[in-house]
Every structure is written in C-alpha cells, then in structure tokens.
Amino acid sequence: MEKINIDSIKDLLENEAVRANIKRGGAVIAVLLYALLVVIPGTRNFLKKKSEVAVLKEQIDSVTDRVNRIESMTEKLDSLNTELEGYSGGLPDQKEIPELLEGLASIAKVSGVKILSITPLDLKESDDRDAKGYYKEMPITITAESGYHQLGQFISNLEEGSRFISIEDLRIQSNEASPRRHDVNLTLKTYVSG
C-alpha cells in the first residue's frame, strides 16, 4: 500500500468530483445520524404519546358523558323523591292509627255500612326483606251490617282513598232479622311506617 501524504490529499481535494462526492457522503452520514439520533426516537416517542392521548381522550369522553347525565339523573331523583313523598302519605305513622280507624268509620258511614266493631290486630314485620324496618303490616278486622250495594260502595271508597289498604278476607252471612242487611266480617290489611 502506498503511503498517503499530505500533498496527495491536497491534490484529491482540489478535484471537483472528489469534493462533490465527499460533500454527498458527509450529507448522507449527517442524514443517517439525524435519522438514528432524532427521527427514529422521536417517532417512537410520538407513537407512544399518541396511544396515551387516545386513552386519555376515551377517559375524557367517558367522564364528559357522565357529567352530561348528571342533570337528567338529578331530575329523575327529584321526581322519584316526589313520588316517594306521595307514597309516604299512604303509610300512616303508628301515632296516626286512631285517625285511620276514624277514617274507615267515616267511609263506612258515607257508604251506608253500619260498623259494629273495628279491631286493629298486632303489627307484624313485612315479608318483603327489602322493606324490613320501613313499614309493618297492620291487619284490621271490621264487623258490620250492610246491604250488597252499600258494601260494594264501601270497598270502592276504600280503593279510591289515599291509604294503601287491601282486603284479605270477606265473609257475608244473611241476617234473618233484616233480609236486606247482611252480617259482614271483613279483614283489611294496611301498612304503617316502621
């Protein structure tokens, strides 16, 4: 191999074609270095950030959707609370039982039913396990004298009332002393707040 001396290098550098090739080679090396040190790591970082941004955008959309539903859920809650207050009016408190019994007597009177006795039975827990502690069942036994039509009117008036009352048992017997009036034994069930 020949020794390279400075004069031969100078001669080479003075050649236009060699200088152009050195410039091109330097440019290619600079581009490769730029790609290896800047573009490829930047692209990796960009793709990583892009996937993170997609996850964050999905989370933001989910939260935005929930926030938008809050108003409608608040309106629904207000509506349900109003409805619950209406139902609560149908459940007398235990202190209101005498008023309830008086109300039954007045409904009977308006209907033409003669009440002989009204007997509230012992309160018992509801069979509904979700309602435990909220209300108790209160059976009420009524003994009365009534015609069929008056009894029907009495039952109709009970159904139209604001209290939750159901008929559990109804027995009608003829009354020999008054053929148009019958002996009625009626067991109602209502609920009182627990």
pLDDT, tens digit, 9 for 90 and up, residues 54-113: 899 999 999 888 888 888 888 888 888 887 766 655 566 667 788 888 988 999 999 999
What residues contact 162, with CB distance under 8 A and at least 6 apart? 89, 90
Are 168 and 188 spatial neighbours (Cβ–Cβ below 8 Å)?
Answer: yes
Residues 78, 100 share a domain: no
Residues 146, 116 share a domain: yes
What residues contact 62, with CB distance under 8 A and at least 6 apart? none
Residues 81, 100 share a domain: no
Phi and psi for 146 in degrees, rounded to 5? Answer: -165, 155
Residues 135, 119 share a domain: yes
Average pLDDT over residues 142-146: 93
Task: Tell me if the pTM is above 0.85.
Answer: no
pLDDT, tens digit, 9 for 90 and up, residues 120-137: 888 776 666 555 556 788
**Above 60 in pLDDT, residue 53?**
yes
What residues contact 138, with CB distance under 8 A and at least 6 apart? 97, 120, 121, 123, 189, 190, 191, 192
Return d(Cα 43, Cα 40) in angstroms, integer. 5
Closest CA to 114 of 146, 138, 140: 146
Q: Of 70, 88, 106, which marks where a domain is finished? A: 88
DSSP-assigned states of every residue in 57-74 = HHHHHHHHHHHHHHHHHH
| Res 97: pLDDT | 80
- Provide the residue type at 154 as one letter: F
Q: What is the CATH number of the domain that holds 139?
A: 3.30.70.60
Output the six-digit token pair for 96.
């209101």
Q: Of 88, 119, 152, which marks where a domain is finished? A: 88
| Res 1: pLDDT | 46
Residues β-bridged to residue 118: 142
Residues 107, 73 share a domain: no
Domain span at residue 24? Answer: 1-88
Residues 188, 116 share a domain: yes
The domain tally of the chain equals 2
Average pLDDT over residues 166-182: 88
| Res 183: pLDDT | 92
Residues 99, 44 share a domain: no
Question: What is the band of 169 on the pLDDT scale with cuts at 50, 70, 90?
Answer: very high
| Res 143: pLDDT | 94
Residues 56, 115 share a domain: no
Question: What is the band of 146 on the pLDDT scale with cuts at 50, 70, 90?
Answer: very high
Q: Of 71, 88, 105, which marks where a domain is finished? A: 88
Residues 139, 68 share a domain: no
Q: What is the mean pLDDT of the chain?
A: 83
| Res 4: pLDDT | 65
Residues 79, 114 share a domain: no
Question: What is the band of 153 on the pLDDT scale with cuts at 50, 70, 90?
Answer: very high
Output the six-digit token pair for 67.
């926030």
Return d(Cα 167, Cα 153) in angstroms, integer. 14
Q: In the chain, what percentage of residues exceed pLDDT 90?
A: 26
